[in-house]
Structure 1
Amino acid sequence: MSSKELQMEYDHYNYLNNEKWKFNLPIYKKSSSTKVFDTPKVSVIIANYNNEPYLEKMFNSLVNQSIGLEKLQILFIDDKSTDNSAKIVQKYIQKYNSIEFYQLTKNTGGAHGPRNVGLINARGKYLVFLDADDWYDENALQYMSETLEKSSDDMGFFGIVQSVNEKLSLKSRAYFFDGNKIDRDIQELPAAFYEWLGPQGIMVRRKLIENNNLHFPSQRVADDVTFFYEAMRFSKKITQGEKLTTYLNRDNDNLSLSKTVNRDFMISWLRALGYINQVFPDDASKEKFLSRRLEWLVYNFGLRRDVGYKFSLKRIIDFKVSMDRYLGKLKFDPTIYFRTGARKTVWRYLLLEDYRGIIRFNRWHSLRHLLKKYLGIVRREKNQYYYPVLNSKIPKIEINMKAVAIKRMENQVVIQIYTNGIFNYFEIRNKLRPFERSKLMVTQMSLTDYKINIPLEIDLRDYEFWVIYNDYQDQKIERIEKLLSE
């Protein structure tokens, strides 16, 4: 694809820094609470399409915020839902202040249109973006805004938990694991920071958005990550807060969502990465961002068989050709930031254009993964575990970490760790409240063996034990519950 053709494509999807996006906004009708405030502290932008089952939980988390409704502007933008979303919103408008309801007259097919309507109408000093099926901790907006208020930064990142059928787990650990920080240079952020960049847990000063004409490109996927990465680049430094703020709803994940990972999904992501690569200078931040996103795409289109773009030789060739079209030849090696050996191997095959090699590797690796997952079959060499070796012609792939409890001695447990990474510490987490976490006392006994102290004053049935190692990766300790119950 020529440079001119790329520019035309970026222009078509409203990537470019011009005013065009403002003139292409969806048409809407607006209704509001009886009382709204001219100068709110925080504007909450919510894009919705058919999220009726989750709206009451989401709205309840907003109207009960400790910051108070008089400091909020709640912009609910509905993308012409076909369910009863409107009835629920009207119920809250009649009962509470500060809610503005924007009803689009046509469906835009993604969150970008509603979010851009929110940007144009926002009045708050700070902006947050909440998906309509997610919800906030009751102190979230007060904590986020007060934390940014104390810093000179234009952008803040805060703690997230993921909810899958009411089971909670930590999400985007790089946002909060380092504790409270201000003026953190984005060039110094770890690669793990770029895994997420979704709307959850992020607050931005409105002036940053307006001064840099930031907006969401007109495509269904990658619009939010593009927006927030651009915001980071213009912010240059960020604030981080260690407290829980946001609950990310993932009840509808798994098979239904995996089918949306199709060819349009692939092209949209590559278009976004190509634009970022074109606009911003070569530096550490861009390398890490592109690398983590490319690793994710390699996983989806080089290894996965359960997505909406059927695994085949055609898919692999299309993926490589499309990468070349949008990104050209990269000036760095992204695999230094890849987390798994399997993804590094697929990348090497792609560079060699050995597409049938990927087919062979994928077949063998899928089988090895199943042997490990369901039968526990692994191979150990010295201080490292590997997936089962089934064919000497297929590259040997390390397992990132294996942590196993092997012996209990009163209030101590011996843990064996085998990893190609760097061990940091052991952690205990509350199963129902995973942000309740603390480090455990540890003694290293040998290269692989560690002895940890177990806090017997708590009900251990309510807790999980984890190993934290480099790049914010974690691993649940195997067999420890069995030892502690004996």
Structure 2
Amino acid sequence: MEEKLREEFKTYNFYLNDHSWKEKLPSVTVEKSERIGNRPKISVIIANYNNSPYLERMMNSLVNQSIGIENLQILFVDDRSTDDSVDKVQTFMKKYPNIELYVLDENTGGAHGPRNVGLLYAKGEYLVILDADDWYAQKGLEIFYHSLEKSGDDLVFGGVVRSKNGQLELMTRAYNAQKSENLPISELPYDFYNWLGPQGNMIRHSLIKEHNLHFIDQRVADDVNFFYQALLFSKKISQVPEITTYVNRDDDNLSLSRNINENFLISWLRALSYLIETYNDVEDIQRFITRRLEWILVDFTLRWDTNFGLNVNSIQKLRRLIELYLSDLGFDPNLYFSLDVYRYIWEYLKTKNDEKLLRFVGWHTLPSIDKSLKKVGNLYYFISEEKDLPWINQPLVKGREIITDETGIYLRFDYYVPESINYVELRNDDNLNHVFRKKVIHLSGVTYELQITPEEFNGLSAGIHRLYIILKSQIEHLVAIDK
């Protein structure tokens, strides 16, 4: 590891044996509710900057938690907002106890500063980090609390729902695949690392204090190290099947693509570089890094609509940064990539085949309707007209038919995915907490069948349901309507 990188780690407060992050925080102006409890069960840290439109929903979800506002410490930390965020929180402070308002005396430019201020003042036995535009299910914090009290674990994860313009969608099933306690982190599925951040979890406060966990001093990827290290130090975790957290992804949020530039990429690679250097002998770090590489390469960097750009120069810049920050990767990510498209992109980057990579990404990002899809054996592939570009496997699950009689309902589908089926889920669009889960029967070839008895059907909640295939990696595929 080059000395330059170690200096960067020190500058941005990466090292856990360094407490200077506390001294670098700006001073704060503090206001509190008239009644403040001394021994809260849970501290809720909210970093805010100009999230006024979402604050009433967020605050209402906290003051109405089933565990009771008397058991919470709500730390609202404002990073010098220019809207009426502070006024809205003060309204709640006048009506409810245990709300503490911390206004930073200078703007820190990211969530890391306010979150670290919250860490300094948190008093609860357990701690959660809540984004100001997200909110909790009414029983969310109580479910987390009782889970950790029962299991003795330091970290618990629950169901997370994405809200986009009023439409709700369950996030990765890997977070709440089943109710579990004392689950070794080595047994976590690959897709668990698709969404490891502040949403949908609770941490034992003593773990944070013991290891000096804090948010690194950079605007982007400030929480990557915090939550991965919390996971690592926990060694074992709990999971709850219930939906606990709702995350906001409305269209009026600032588009992430506008912020994807060289500094954005460097921040992410620096965070991953530190984790590789510090924990390179930990087995699950390889899956975590690979899942993040998929995200960085395809979802962020190799896109046309970002400020980073997509051309030969930007690809060369990306390679130089990867060589700088991930030169000591120490393993082959091809062992874990979930789709072959990632393997081809990684190969072209490593072999410096920039022109081919540019053509490949250009073709791959075309809408599906503009690409040729061909069935080969039991799998489907997108095939480019350019003969030197590889075929790309396209996992598909096609609904075949529904049969009903007095013995039950039989949903048949054709399955064109390399990985075997673990189980299937029927999810209600209007009630994502009601999930019907069952194994399927292999009829022949690519055809499978889900059998629902009359008793099981009567137990389903009313509404429109969608059928999902869940793999052992917890990656899921929606069954598409064919016939």
Q: Same fold (TM over 0.5)?
A: yes
Q: Which residue of 2 aligns with 1:435?
A: 433
Superimposed CA distance per residue, residues 309-347 of structure 1 (whole angstroms, 9 cap, x where no aligned partner): 111111111111111111214221112221121111000
CA distance in 2, matches of 1:58, 1:207: 26
> Mapping of 1:66-77 within 5 angstroms?
66-77=66-77
Q: Which residue of 2 aligns with 1:95?
A: 95
| In the alignment, structure 1 residue 263 sits paired with structure 2 residue 265 | no
CA distance in 1, matches of 2:247, 2:307: 23
| 3-state secondary structure, aligned to 1:452 | strand
> Offset of 1:419 from its aligned partner?
0.7
Q: 1:471 aligns with which of 465, 468, 473?
A: 473
Q: Which residue of 1 aligns with 2:450?
A: 452
Superimposed CA distance per residue, residues 130-172 of structure 1 (whole angstroms, 9 cap, x where no aligned partner): 0000000111111101110112221111111111111111113
Q: What amino acid is the match of 1:414?
A: R
CA distance in 2, matches of 1:125, 1:462: 41
Q: What amino acid is the match of 1:25?
A: L
> Mapping of 1:244-393 within 5 angstroms?
244-252=243-251, 256-300=255-299, 303-367=302-366, 370=367, 372=368, 374=369, 377-393=372-388
> Mapping of 1:87-166 within 5 angstroms?
87-166=87-166
Q: Which residue of 2 aligns with 1:417?
A: 415
Q: What amino acid is the match of 1:320?
A: R
CA distance in 2, matches of 1:10, 1:329: 15
Contact 1:187–1:283 at 8 Å: present in 2 too? no
Q: What amino acid is the match of 2:472?
A: N
| In the alignment, structure 1 residue 8 sits paired with structure 2 residue 4 | no
| 3-state secondary structure, aligned to 2:170 | strand
Output the TM-score relative to the length of structure 2: 0.94
CA distance in 1, matches of 2:439, 2:308: 47
Q: What amino acid is the match of 2:140?
A: A
Unaligned residue ranges in structure 2 (runs of 5+): none
Contact 1:163–1:251 at 8 Å: present in 2 too? yes
Q: Which residue of 1 aligns with 2:401?
A: 407
> Offset of 1:96 from its aligned partner?
0.2
CA distance in 1, matches of 2:474, 2:385: 31
Contact 1:379–1:389 at 8 Å: present in 2 too? no
**CA distance 1:10–1:253, shift in 2 (3 Å):** farther
Unaligned residue ranges in structure 1 (runs of 5+): none
Superimposed CA distance per residue, residues 252-288 of structure 1 (whole angstroms, 9 cap, x where no aligned partner): 4788222212211100000000111111142311111
> Offset of 1:439 from its aligned partner?
2.2
| 3-state secondary structure, aligned to 1:26 | coil
CA distance in 1, matches of 2:70, 2:402: 55
| 3-state secondary structure, aligned to 1:74 | strand
CA distance in 1, matches of 2:208, 2:403: 57
> Offset of 1:74 from its aligned partner?
0.2
CA distance in 1, matches of 2:431, 2:36: 35
Contact 2:383–2:390 at 8 Å: present in 1 too? no
Contact 1:302–1:346 at 8 Å: present in 2 too? no
| 3-state secondary structure, aligned to 1:387 | strand
**CA distance 1:255–1:375, shift in 2 (3 Å):** farther
**CA distance 1:376–1:359, shift in 2 (3 Å):** closer
CA distance in 2, matches of 1:143, 1:461: 26
Q: Which residue of 1 aligns with 2:22?
A: 22
Q: Which residue of 1 aligns with 2:238?
A: 239
**CA distance 1:104–1:255, shift in 2 (3 Å):** closer
Contact 1:301–1:316 at 8 Å: present in 2 too? no
> Mapping of 1:198-213 within 5 angstroms?
198-213=197-212
| In the alignment, structure 1 residue 45 sits paired with structure 2 residue 45 | yes
> Offset of 1:7 from its aligned partner?
1.6
Of the structure 1 ranges 292-301 and 263-272, higher mean CA displacement relative to structure 2 is found in: 292-301
CA distance in 2, matches of 1:252, 1:194: 25
> Offset of 1:124 from its aligned partner?
0.3
Contact 2:427–2:467 at 8 Å: present in 1 too? yes
Contact 2:426–2:436 at 8 Å: present in 1 too? yes
CA distance in 1, matches of 2:270, 2:94: 43
CA distance in 1, matches of 2:142, 2:161: 18
> Offset of 1:389 from its aligned partner?
3.3
Of the structure 1 ranges 92-101 and 249-258, higher mean CA displacement relative to structure 2 is found in: 249-258
**CA distance 1:212–1:461, shift in 2 (3 Å):** closer
Higher helix share: 1
| 3-state secondary structure, aligned to 1:101 | strand
Contact 2:153–2:237 at 8 Å: present in 1 too? yes
CA distance in 1, matches of 2:333, 2:172: 20
> Offset of 1:440 from its aligned partner?
4.8
CA distance in 1, matches of 2:390, 2:9: 39
CA distance in 2, matches of 1:253, 1:226: 28
**CA distance 1:29–1:269, shift in 2 (3 Å):** same
Contact 1:43–1:126 at 8 Å: present in 2 too? yes
For the aligned residues, what is the CA RMSD?
Answer: 1.9
Superimposed CA distance per residue, residues 146-201 of structure 1 (whole angstroms, 9 cap, x where no aligned partner): 11011222111111111111111111311111x12122222222222111111011
| 3-state secondary structure, aligned to 2:365 | helix
Contact 2:372–2:384 at 8 Å: present in 1 too? no
> Offset of 1:376 from its aligned partner?
7.9
**CA distance 1:75–1:346, shift in 2 (3 Å):** same
